[in-house]
Amino acid sequence: MENEALVTVNNLVKYFPVTRGLILERKIADVKAVDGVSFSIKQGDTLGLVGESGSGKTTVGKCILQIYPPTSGEVFYQDADLVQLDKGELRQMRRHMQPIYQDPYSSLDPRMTVADLIGEPMVVHGIAQGKEIRERVNELLQLVGLAPYMAERYPHMFSGGQRQRIGIARALACQPSFLVCDEPVSALDVSIQAQIVNLLMDLQEKFNLTYLFIAHDLAVVKYISQQVAVMYLGKIMEVSTSEDLYNEPLHPYTLGVAIGRAHSRSRSRAHPRAARADRRDSQSAGSPFRLQLSPPLPGPAADLFGRDAAAHRPGRGTLRGLPFVQLRTVAPMPLMHSQVKRKTGRLVSLYPGRSGASIRQGPEQ
């Protein structure tokens, strides 16, 4: 079972209509948030989904959970196509798939206590009743590093990291096997981010959970993910293992993202391998990414390297006279500014050199 795909997405499409008029409303265009995305996640693995803001990462996660009904495509959880399920069948499937949201405060009802927030999914899905609910709530709080007496508090009485732990406990209340982690650490302090990432990894190892981990930070994704998919303008540019994607990116956009991250703290210096992305003709045939490289990569990169990367259109000019295939063979890129340091096998710091980057063991203040 561990080698089988738990979640499979085939040619997922989600368009949002653009309308005009108040009385006689009519559609004039479509926003192509997700346009033909395909991937699969094995049981117990983590797929990291990275890309710039507006690339469609969150929309993919919500389409998988059927929060947004897809325009077309297939979303399989084991052998069940979630797109074809009716409301009753989908409700039964939701207990196996839960989200962890980016903003822990806005995702928690301020009028409900922690006990009610975590216990509500158990009541909805008929998992527990009566005193069993409170016992389960106390177990979940201890599991995520909080004390049971905190169950009677309200969300505004907690720090950001503690609220995210509550969100994780609520997601685990239904005993799911698949979690969509929608940038779960981006709204937290730097030092707290590492604690939440370590918590997610510990829970994954203990319960054999499967993650779709959505994030901007490539260092976090590299640390927690076995596979990484790079999105741009609603499309998957490249899917690879975290090590291969980090050291030898195939697609020009992946390379541009990595170079941009590596030199975001020194933008005044131009990198000799940096190239300018031209977003014109983004909806034309082939990849939406257009880079000034010559000659272009001939067709999908999987034909050459056995890895999945989108073919890109030819551009004008050269990149210091190097074709893209030769560009792959240069030395590995330097570690990005969001570095990963390990101490006794743990993630110690995501942003070394910044104030408050060291991890202090114990609950957040």
Task: State the Cα angle at 192 between 99 and 105, rounded to 5°.
Answer: 45
Q: What is the C-alpha separation between 312 and 50, in angstroms, rounded?
A: 19
Q: What pLDDT does residue 258 have?
A: 63
Q: What is the C-alpha separation between 62 and 12, in angstroms, rounded?
A: 12
Instruction: Report cis status (omega within 30 of 0) of the bond before 295.
Output: yes
Report the percent of the chain where pLDDT is more than 70.
69
Question: Which DSSP state fits 127?
Answer: S
Q: What is the C-alpha separation between 125 and 77, in angstroms, rounded?
A: 18
Q: Please write the tens of the pLDDT for every residue from 289-338.
A: 544 433 344 444 444 445 556 654 444 333 333 333 333 333 333 333 33
Q: What pLDDT does residue 26 have?
A: 87
Residue of 88 and 258 predicted with greater confidence? 88
- Nearest CA to 224 out of 206, 251, 202 is that of 202
Residue 95 makes CB contacts below 8 A (sequence gap 6+) with: 121, 125, 127, 174, 175, 176
E strand or H helix at 32, and its extent?
Answer: strand 26-42
Residue 247: strand, helix, or coil? helix
Q: What pLDDT does residue 260 have?
A: 56
Question: Which DSSP state fits 3?
Answer: T
Please report how the helices 131-143 and 114-124 are oriented relative to each other, as an axis angle in degrees rounded to 10: 120
Q: What is the C-alpha separation between 104 and 69, in angstroms, rounded?
A: 24
Mean per-residue pLDDT for 67-89?
92
Q: What pLDDT does residue 106 have?
A: 87
Other CB atoms within 10 A of residue 166 CB: 25
Which range, of 64-78, 158-172, 215-229, averages the lowest pLDDT? 215-229
Token pair recorded at residue 36:
């033909």
Q: What pLDDT does residue 324 have?
A: 35
Report the percent of the chain where pLDDT is more than 90.
40
Decide: 336 and 346 in contact? Cβ < 8 Å.
no
Q: What is the C-alpha separation between 336 and 353, in angstroms, rounded?
A: 13
Q: How many helices (H) and strands (E) does the chain have?
A: 11, 13
Q: What is the C-alpha separation between 74 and 187, in angstroms, rounded?
A: 31
Which amino acid is present at 193?
Q
Decide: 61 and 180 in contact? Cβ < 8 Å.
yes
Q: Which domains does the chain have, with CATH numbers?
A: 5-231 (3.40.50.300), 260-327 (no CATH)
Token pair recorded at residue 285:
């045939």
Decide: 12 and 73 in contact? Cβ < 8 Å.
yes
Q: Which of 154-158, 222-226, 358-362 has the highest mean pLDDT?
A: 154-158
Q: What is the C-alpha separation between 248 and 352, in angstroms, rounded?
A: 24
Residue 165 makes CB contacts below 8 A (sequence gap 6+) with: 144, 145, 146, 196, 199
Mean per-residue pLDDT for 231-245?
87
Token pair recorded at residue 362:
């114990």
Q: What is the C-alpha separation between 44 and 79, in angstroms, rounded?
A: 17
Please report how the helices 190-207 and 160-172 are oriented relative to each other, as an axis angle in degrees rounded to 10: 20
| DSSP code per residue over 264-308 | TT-TTSPPTT---B--TTTTSSS-S-BB--SSPP-S-THHHHSSE
